[in-house]
Structure 1
């Protein structure tokens, strides 16, 4: 099949997820080295060390996996898919660094390691987040990975919209408001869904769309894949809310039970645990329906939806 050069050739879903994560880790590690790159004046050692701590600490790499597997399904080039996925992952990592800060969720652990502000300090953590965000856009906009300027501009625009005021950042602000920080708050199901679609879902949905762009999807194909990405993003957040109630801190690598303690808006509160699990199953069905045009070629993406709701961490 055209376009498979460079893609990990692992067999089952778990092996493929692991192989892609390893490839992404290697790509990110190269981008976060100490050597000064073209157009740079210097790379402060403390900043680079803290950025590596924030990024190169394991993780499932689900977002770049979605970008890479979508592009692979469509026969797109591996290099472009990797760069797009890495850009999304860096934005995700920056959001975690800032989300862990005392002014936000005030967390001490992330993936079983001290959060950046605990290992270093708050100022360094803020700058790490800033640097990861800008590096994300630098990689996505670099013609070394994606020659077509139209695709590059679509990727930059899509990543900005998914991560900015109308997406992830706006959703994080709504999440803080749901805690009652800015006055009384009691979000209903629809408002909770909107919050989660912005805070978590937008970036996950864009991960799929990034792969669609790299893979040369038609407008109709992009719409179907976007439906898949949105349903997957919603399922991911509902599953995360369930894990926050049921999983141990050791399994998650971070403090659990914090959402309930903080009074955050979750579908578990609105629907109950059984209702939330049923919603996850419904959303997996939506994912599978959206992928029907690709048949067996979409098996890995279907499995990604099932993995999202069955994961234990």
Structure 2
């Protein structure tokens, strides 16, 4: 595998990782239509577990089949496919050699409103399935965030010892300041990215930030220091700055299903701000296959540009 200068520069930012971990990170960065650009698009499909099968797949019944998502990620030329244990097990032999995979190790479900996640996989299972890495969600601000962080630290240590990369979904929730608007406030998203970076993530996933400022103490600093959050590009630039001045890869979610025009506008703004790429789930598999592939081609072109 011959690395491009862009990928070599990214790998240099992970100074203490062993060769196996860097090779797996390079596998992801050198795969698909964005191979070698330093940009990433990953397909995540944990929504069946998180939201229920009908809410997730009834709009496109073919998506009930885990093989559909493997093939979608492969045919779209994405960098990787992330899913919980059962879904990856369904297609690991048929498709695992055609795209890097990431085993999501914790999940919530919609049968209760507790802001926590259960462990649903292990590092050993990720190795058994030939995955490039593990994924894990934390909810900074929730009553369970410190417990989640404790578990993540042990999983991160084990993953890195096993030569895997670590992808952290960092979604602030709960707490006295975090109403729905606060979860995507620019100061909160920046904080979430920084927390994930400090916890040892190779790749960080956060939501696209709004210009809202949530924490009173942070708002004062943003105003005093005149931190520009007026456009999505400026906000994305600030999120990247908060992830060790861009030394960590930060991907942004696509969120709930929306129009293609809105998605393209969002990802153009994020790309202009230096975002490392995107993780797009519902906005792909809840569309017809041909529509999803055409949409992903456009998003790939945005990040290539």
TM-score, normalized by the shorter chain, greater than 0.5: no
- Relative to its length, the structure with more strand (as a share) is 2
- Relative to its length, the structure with more helix (as a share) is 1
Give 1 or 2 for the bigger CA radius of gyration.
1
Q: TM-score, with normalisation over the residues of structure 1?
A: 0.29
Q: TM-score, with normalisation over the residues of structure 2?
A: 0.29
